[in-house]
Amino acid sequence: MTRLNPKNPILTAIDKNNLSEAENLVSEVGAASGGIKLGKEFFTSFGPQGIQQVAGTQTPLFLDLKFHDIPNTVAGAVRAATRALAPNMMTIHASGGAAMIRAASDAASEFESSPWILAVTVLTSMDDSDLTSVGVNSTASDQVLRLARLAQENGADGVICSPHEITTLRAECGPDFKLVVPGIRPTGSDHGDQKRVKTPAEAVADGADYLVIGRPITAHEAPATAIQNILESLN
């Protein structure tokens, strides 16, 4: 497991569903990134072997599979992923409940190099009206806080949250609880399907630990340069 560099908070989301293109992209951005994120679509296409082939051993790995199942199954999945891939961090859904979160956290702690267990609160593609449509009678902000507290109480290392909840969660959950934030769009970037966004500088100033950034980097004509520009904006 490659150590995370807290001075480089950028986790580049490798949004390629082509193995050779993904390898080429990681070879270009891996050294410039604080880590790379590989998720469900890539994993479903290429499995653990594809993750190993693309991620290598030199760049920290954020494995974003968002486990959500009964506690025993999620614990087994965390163990299997840690043995096979040694990720620095991986995701579960906080809405799986206290027992599931605890099972995932306990499973991760069995390893000498334990991955962070990060609980997904409310997807950044969802807003208040989306929550209402699935029967959640809370605002997105209230639901995020509720699930973050549940995650912290049951051993999760941190949460995935939108930029708009960073300040509240940092105040409520303290300085050591990890906040990993998608929905980051540099000034002038297209928001795409993200509804709750901020710039990288705004998110870090609010208290984000790591920023998940995809298309503004991977669609850039010079992805490594895009990363460098973002890092300079943070300074």
- Which sequence spans correspond to the domains of the chain? 10-234
Q: How far is CA 36 from CA 58, 102, 138, 216, 232, in A?
A: 11, 26, 33, 14, 19
Three-state secondary-structure class, residue 44: helix
Reply yes or no on whether 66 is catalytic: yes
Set 66, 178, 195, 198: catalytic member: 66
65 neighbors 35 (Cβ within 8 angstroms) = no
pLDDT in the model for residue 193: 47
* Whole-number Cα distances in Å, 21 to 27, 46, 187, 201: 10, 13, 27, 29
The residue ranges of the chain whose pLDDT is under 70 are 187-197
pLDDT digits (tens, 9 = 90+) for 90-132: 999 999 999 999 999 999 999 999 999 999 998 878 889 999 9
| DSSP secondary structure letter of residue 115 | P
pLDDT at 189: 58
What global pTM score does this model have? 0.92
Is 94 in contact with 163 (CB distance < 8 Å)?
A: no
Going by their DSSP bridges, the two strands 210-213 and 10-13 should be labelled as parallel
Match domain 10-234 to its CATH number in 3.30.70.1450, 3.40.640.10, 3.20.20.70, 3.40.50.2300. Answer: 3.20.20.70
pLDDT at position 1, please? 75
